[in-house]
Amino acid sequence: MKNRQETALAYFMQGYNCAQATAAAFAQDFGLAPEAVLTMTAGFGGGMGGLRETCGAVSAMVYVAGLHAGHYAPGDLAAKKALYDRVKEMQREFVAQFGTTCCRDLLLKAACLPLPDPSERTAAYYAQRPCAHFVAGAAAILARKLQLPDDAGATLLEKGAPQTPS
C-alpha cells in the first residue's frame, strides 16, 4: 500500500494540479471518494486558479485540516482556535522546508516562469517544475501533523473519528 506522499505524487504525475494531488491522497481517510476531492480542490491549483499566490499544496493542507478538525459547533471558539493553530503550524513547517508558501516565489526560486495558465504536462514539465517536491512535502506534513496512519487506505472513520457534517 502506498503512503500519502507516494499517493499524492502519483496523482500529480497523472496530471492533477498540486492542490488536487495533495488533498486526494487523504480522501479515503474521511470517507470521501477521491474523485469528489479532485473536483472540490480543482480551483486551488496554480496558486489559486493561476494567480500564483498561495501554493495549491498549502491550500490542500488547509482543506484537509478542515476535514480533520473542522466539525465543531459555530460557537466553539476553542476548537476553531485549535484548527487555526494547526493550520499555522503546518504553514510554518512548509515555509521552513521550502522558504515560502507563495507559488510565484516557489517557481521563481526554481527558475520557472510563473505563467497564469495551466501548462501541458510533458516529461520536460515534470523535469523542470519543482511542484512535485511541494506536493510530497505537504502530504508528509499533513500525515505527521494529523497523526494519520502511514498507509493511504485506512480511514479515520473506521477508527472512530468524528464525521464531517453532510
The pLDDT averaged over each successive group of 10 residues in the chain (166 residues) is: 89 98 97 98 97 98 97 97 98 98 98 93 94 97 87 43 35
Residue type for 166, please?
S
Spatial separation of the C-alpha atoms in residues 72 and 38, rounded to whole Å: 24
Specify the pTM.
0.88
Amino acid 154: pLDDT: 43
**For the purposes of burial, counting CB atoms within 10 Å of the CB of 131, is it exposed (0-12), middle (13-18) or buried (19 or more)?**
buried
**Residues contacting residue 130 through CB under 8 Å, at least 6 positions apart:** 106, 107, 109, 110, 112
Residue type for 147, please?
Q
